[in-house]
Structure 1
Amino acid sequence: MMGCKGCSRNIDVSDEFVQLQVEQQLQLETDLVEDELYIKRLDKCNSCPSLLYGHTCGHCGCFVQFRAKLAYKTCPSPDGAKW
């Protein structure tokens, strides 16, 4: 169970669900980073204290696996982008 960033409801989200959502959304995108940069970005996200539930950015509410793959996105940390 995890609390939704947009409300106070708890929802049950599996890693498989997150992966499926990310894969489906990425099919709609064309401006993606190479795997090497993606992995570096995810490493930063995974070590960030604002990472929620192992997959959600505490600053913007995105699945980090999705945001990190998009070339036109940056880290939304209010302390300054970490990638």
Structure 2
Amino acid sequence: MDRQEGCKGCSESVQVSPEKLQRLVEIATRGRETASEEVYRRRIGQCEQCPGLQYGTTCQYCGCLVEVKTRLLESACPYPFAPKWS
């Protein structure tokens, strides 16, 4: 049995194109309460500066796509040491 080296995140299959990401945002936010543009921009800015951001799209602490998570009003930052937003 062959063993793959590295984590699954190192494969191309986890890379999300901007088009696919936009479609995922549309699906995830449909019928749900979303954050205001101001709140979204503040949250995404904090995520972009976070050491837990992987591949420019994914939170290492919860596995969520930050573009989706930051848009949902009820979301909270999962950063384990001191959440960056709530």
- State TM-score, norm by structure 1: 0.81
2:23 paired with 1:15 = no
Residue 21 of structure 1: CA displacement? 0.9
2:47 paired with 1:45 = yes
- Gap regions ≥5 residues in structure 1: 1-6
* Number of residue-to-residue matches in the alignment: 76
The structure richer in strand per residue is: 1
Equivalent residue in structure 2 for 1:60, among 47, 62, 66: 62
C-alpha distance in 2 between matches for 1:45 and 1:28:
24
- Structure showing greater radius of gyration is 2
Residue 39 of structure 1: CA displacement? 0.3
Residue 17 of structure 1: CA displacement? 1.1
C-alpha distance in 1 between matches for 2:31 and 2:58:
20
Partner amino acid, structure 1, of 2:29 = L
The structure richer in helix per residue is: 2
Percent identity for Structure 1 against Structure 2? 37
Which residue of the partner structure matches residue 3 of structure 1?
none
- State TM-score, norm by structure 2: 0.79
2:50 paired with 1:36 = no
Q: CA RMSD in A?
A: 1.5
Which stretches of structure 1, 4 residues or more, deviate above 4 A after TM superposition?
A: none
Residue 67 of structure 1: CA displacement? 0.7
